[in-house]
Amino acid sequence: MDVAVMHSALVIGTGLMGTSVALALRARGVTVYLRDVDSAAARTAASLGAGTVQPPTETVDLAIVAVPPPLVGKVLADAQGRHLARHYTDVASVKAETQHDVVDLRCDTSCYIGGHPMAGASRSGPLKARGDLFEGRSWALTPTADTDTETLNMALELVTLCGAVPVLMEAAVHDRAVALVSHAPHVVASLVAMRLESAEEREVSLAGPGLRDLTRIAEADAQLWLDILGGNAAAVADLLDELGADLSEMVAGLRAMAATDEAKRSSGTKTVGTMLRRGMSGRSRISGKHGRQPERFESVTVLIGDQQGELARLLTDADRADVNIEDIRIEHATGRQAGLVHVSVAPGMTAPLREALRTGGWHER
């Protein structure tokens, strides 16, 4: 099998994804060139250490096309026409339509492989980029019918250099999968958040971490998501149809629970309970830290002030317990200069953590 070695790369598109890829590659010693129709974005990415805006003087090893899905085919065709790289990939979140565009534009598909890192942020742009954005995340690779081995190996090296985990799949299978795990959830989050638009202020003031977690992704750029959903509309619509049937069943169950007839209440309770338990079962299938099945951690919650350096002081005090912190979550208190910090550790390890935090003057909640 051919072994790919990446020395140079060209990132076309210096938004969140492109700049994050560039930062990850630069951290591994790869020479990175940056290109964007928005020269200011490219200069911003360069100022962050993502690479240089100077054009490459020779053909690079890999070009990463990091533009919205509808533009991938045209940008790839242009890049191949200029012989900018030996191999090409992209990071678009829909693959079947992108692959069709690539074929229709008569791109050389032997040196191209589709890609989609399952990572992102609610805000876009190079200033939100991080070199560790892809650490431990899945990165789908969707070869064409004639993608050659060397191109596949180069893409696998890209994924490895970015700290991600490669998953090979067909383009159509990928799009059905992301409809389930990404695109439909975004629509649902947006619909829930939309209900808040006309809610009274006192109602919204009761929002807690559950609602914040559920609606966080609804903050993402609407135009970007129009492009994403437009490329995968049929798969998302099919899934939302199925979800609509589930919602109807849940509504019927809740109506029955509110009935005066005891038999109806019992039936409704059974329906709702079954669906909630199935939800728990489905949630448990999502891998946890480092790709493992999620573990049941125990948490210690303390009140923290909004002063500068308080979180660092908390972590320093927690470190004295010599306990590995598995997760940390901050819950901001509405209208107060304070918040709650939930520190998660392995089962049975809360006692030394509590002692260390008490010694540091922290108050548990």
Interval 257-266: pLDDT, tens: 999 999 999 9
Q: What is each CA distance from 36 to 30, 101, 162, in whole angstroms?
A: 19, 21, 21
In three state form, how does the secondary structure of 192-254 look? HHHHHCCCCHHHHCCCCHHHHHHHHHHHCCHHHHHHHHHHCHHHHHHHHHHHHHHHHHHHHHH
Write down the CATH number for the domain with range 8-169. 3.40.50.720
Tell me where in the chain the CATH 3.40.50.720 domain(s) lie. 8-169
Beta carbons of 79 and 107 less than 8 angstroms apart:
no
Q: Is 343 helix (H, G, I), strand (E, B) or coil?
A: strand
The pLDDT tens digits of the residues spanning 30-46 come to: 999 999 999 999 999 99
Is the pLDDT reported for residue 111 higher than 70? yes
Q: Over 90: is that where the pLDDT of 345 sits?
A: no
- What is residue 295's DSSP assignment? P
More confident residue, 143 or 311: 143
Strands 85-90 and 112-117, how do they pair? Answer: parallel
Q: Are 59 and 82 in contact (CB under 8 A)?
A: no
How far apart (Å, rounded) are the C-alpha atoms in residues 139 and 118?
A: 6
Give the tens place of pLDDT for each residue, 221-239: 898 889 889 989 999 999 9
Rounded CA separation 320/302 (Å): 16
Enter the pTM of the model: 0.73
Which residues, 6 or more positions from 212, have their beta carbon under 8 angstroms from its beta carbon?
none
What does the alpha-carbon distance between residue 74 and residue 160 come to, in Å, rounded to a whole number?
A: 27
What is the predicted pLDDT for the residue at 333?
Answer: 56
CATH 3.30.70.260 intervals, the chain: 298-359
Q: Which structure tokens are listed for 159? A: 């994924």
Q: Are 129 and 103 in contact (CB under 8 A)?
A: no
Burial label for 227, CB within 10 Å (0-12, 13-18, 19+), is: middle
Q: Where in the chain do CATH 1.10.3660.10 domains reside?
A: 176-255
**What pLDDT, on the 0 to 100 scale, is given for residue 163?**
93
Domain at 298-359, CATH from 3.30.70.120, 3.90.226.10, 3.30.70.260, 3.60.130.10: 3.30.70.260
Q: At what angle do helices 184-196 and 233-257 cross, to 10 degrees?
A: 50
In this structure, which amino acid lies at residue 236?
A: V
Q: What pLDDT, on a 0 to 100 scale, did the predictor assign at position 4? A: 65
Quick: pLDDT tens for 79-108: 999 999 999 999 999 999 999 999 999 999
For residue 30, what are its two tokens? 């790869």
CB-based contact 119:137 (threshold 8 Å)? yes
Asked whether residue 288 carries a pLDDT value surpassing 60, the answer given is no
- Collapsing DSSP to helix, strand or coil, 346 comes out as coil
Q: Which of 3.30.565.10, 3.60.10.10, 1.10.3660.10, 3.40.950.10 is the CATH number of 176-255?
A: 1.10.3660.10
